[in-house]
């Protein structure tokens, strides 16, 4: 164990028998095999699920670490992009797992961004009625958000994340070095989720985000901070039954609709959420107690990461509303919309009407 790279931070996710930890730091991918041995003991057969961009960069290191620990990995690669987050892709991945001879004594490693984390976790949750998995997120967005909390799933053509399970990982390895190969656009999209966390839970984070935007902040600590926020929310409301976890959907009702209407892959997830965050901030000014200055601070920070805040005219209002009605945040025809009382203080409101949504869609067009 002495040759392991120690994490800069370890964040626990305390969920009783489903508890796990998130390791954050540089050079942690080499620990994968040892972590797998810690989590799964003598289990050997496993699938490393990745995509066509991440695979050529990091699959060799992941496979070598697993083999050095006595594991027998098979590499499964899907095309990069949101289109791979589908039932068809899940069927293909599970088919490859079956052909490789994986059984109920096997495990999965999801190596990649949010799409791979969701797809890999979903396949682990349904294969042989559920096998364990490790998340190895390689983007800002997946490290701070989607790799933690156990939400797995795929999209339907009609709407995002409509088919899925809660299936907690056994461990998460957030290797900051994997972020060095991201293109600027992919790196920046993750800050939509970071800004969301500051909006709903901890306004003091705005200063830290602004420092990172200026090039002088500590990205590793900022990622640790966000993981801790996500972990705390998940611990309070693992299965989104109490309303607390729903707060993580701030900016997502319209954001998901915009992403689906654009066609999956045309807008990155964080880019669509950026537009949704602006809309939610404006609604919070109109229907709650968020000040104009606070809403402007949110939008200014989105702009500093070159995230979109103006909705193109090509998006039709009625189409966005139609997609929104299929969102899981609608219950009995009523919108459950997350608003802010102030920066760092969010709540779920049922006071938002379709008329309000039409108005705010018009407002974010300019």
Per the annotation, the verdict on 297 as an active-site residue is no
Per the annotation, the verdict on 160 as an active-site residue is no
Cα dist from 265 to 73, 166, 188, 296, whole Å: 29, 24, 16, 28
Catalytic pick from 187, 196, 245, 297?
A: 245
Catalytic pick from 85, 187, 196, 269?
A: 269
CB atoms inside a 10 Å sphere around CB 4 = 13
Q: Which residues contact 100 (CB under 8 A, 6 or more apart)?
A: 45, 47, 74
Per the annotation, the verdict on 186 as an active-site residue is no
Catalytic pick from 42, 99, 129, 332?
A: 129
Per the annotation, the verdict on 96 as an active-site residue is no
Rg (CA), the chain: 20
Catalytic pick from 82, 189, 238, 240?
A: 240
Per the annotation, the verdict on 171 as an active-site residue is no
Could you tell me where the beta strands, DSSP code E, fall in 132-187? 133-137, 151-156, 159-166, 171-175
Per the annotation, the verdict on 322 as an active-site residue is no
Per the annotation, the verdict on 252 as an active-site residue is yes
Give yes or no for a contact between 80 and 52, defined as CB atoms under 8 angstroms apart: yes
Catalytic pick from 71, 85, 151, 197?
A: 151
- Residue 253 corresponds to which tokens in the numbers above? 């009702």
Catalytic pick from 82, 193, 238, 294?
A: 193
Cα dist from 73 to 44, 129, 134, 264, whole Å: 8, 20, 13, 30
Catalytic pick from 256, 271, 278, 294?
A: 256
Per the annotation, the verdict on 193 as an active-site residue is yes
Q: How many helices (H) and strands (E) does the chain have?
A: 14, 13
Catalytic pick from 85, 201, 252, 278?
A: 252
Per the annotation, the verdict on 26 as an active-site residue is no
| Residues 5, 227, 148, 118, Cα dihedral to 10° | -90
- Residue 78 corresponds to which tokens in the numbers above? 């899907």
Per the annotation, the verdict on 167 as an active-site residue is no
Catalytic pick from 187, 249, 271, 294?
A: 249
What are the start-end ranges of the H helices in the chain?
Answer: 32-40, 54, 60-68, 87-99, 114-126, 140-141, 184-200, 205-213, 219-236, 252-262, 269-287, 292-304, 317-325, 354-363
* 260 phi and psi angles, rounded to 5 deg: -70, -40
Residues annotated as catalytic (active site), given as ranges: 129, 151, 193, 230, 240, 245, 249, 252, 256, 269
């Amino acid at each position: 164990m002495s040759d392991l790279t120690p994490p800069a931070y370890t964040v626990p996710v305390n969920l009783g028998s489903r508890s796990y930890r998130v390791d954050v730091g540089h050079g942690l991918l080499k620990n994968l095999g040892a972590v797998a041995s810690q989590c799964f003991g003598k289990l050997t057969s496993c699938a490393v699920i990745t995509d066509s961009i991440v695979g050529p960069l990091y699959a060799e290191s992941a496979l070598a670490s697993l083999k050095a620990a006595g594991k027998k990995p098979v590499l499964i690669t899907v095309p990069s992009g949101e289109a791979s987050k589908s039932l068809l892709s899940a069927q293909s991945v599970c088919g490859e797992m079956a052909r490789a001879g994986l059984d109920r004594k096997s495990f999965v490693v999801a190596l990649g961004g949010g799409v791979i984390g969701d797809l890999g976790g979903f396949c682990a949750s349904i294969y042989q009625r559920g096998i364990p998995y490790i998340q190895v997120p390689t983007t800002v967005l997946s490290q701070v958000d989607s790799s933690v909390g156990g939400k797995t799933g795929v999209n339907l053509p009609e709407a995002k994340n409509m088919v899925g399970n809660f299936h907690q990982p056994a461990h998460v390895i957030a290797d900051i070095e994997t972020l060095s190969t991201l293109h600027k656009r992919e790196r920046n999209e993750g800050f939509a989720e970071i800004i969301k966390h500051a909006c709903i839970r901890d306004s003091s984070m705005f200063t830290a985000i602004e420092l990172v935007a200026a090039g002088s902040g500590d990205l590793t600590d900022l990622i640790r901070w966000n993981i801790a926020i996500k972990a705390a929310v998940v611990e309070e409301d693992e299965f989104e039954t109490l309303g607390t976890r729903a707060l993580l959907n701030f900016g997502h009702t319209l954001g998901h609709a915009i992403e689906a209407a654009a066609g999956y892959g045309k807008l990155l997830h964080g880019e669509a959420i950026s537009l949704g965050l602006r809309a939610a901030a404006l609604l919070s000014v109109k229907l709650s107690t968020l000040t104009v200055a606070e809403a402007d601070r949110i939008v200014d920070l989105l702009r500093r990461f070159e995230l979109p805040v103006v909705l193109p005219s090509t998006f039709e209002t009625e189409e966005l509303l139609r997609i929104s009605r299929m969102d899981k945040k609608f219950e009995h025809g009523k919108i459950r919309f997350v608003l802010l009382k102030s920066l760092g203080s969010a709540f779920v409101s049922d006071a938002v009407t379709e008329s309000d949504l039409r108005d705010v869609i018009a407002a974010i067009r300019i």
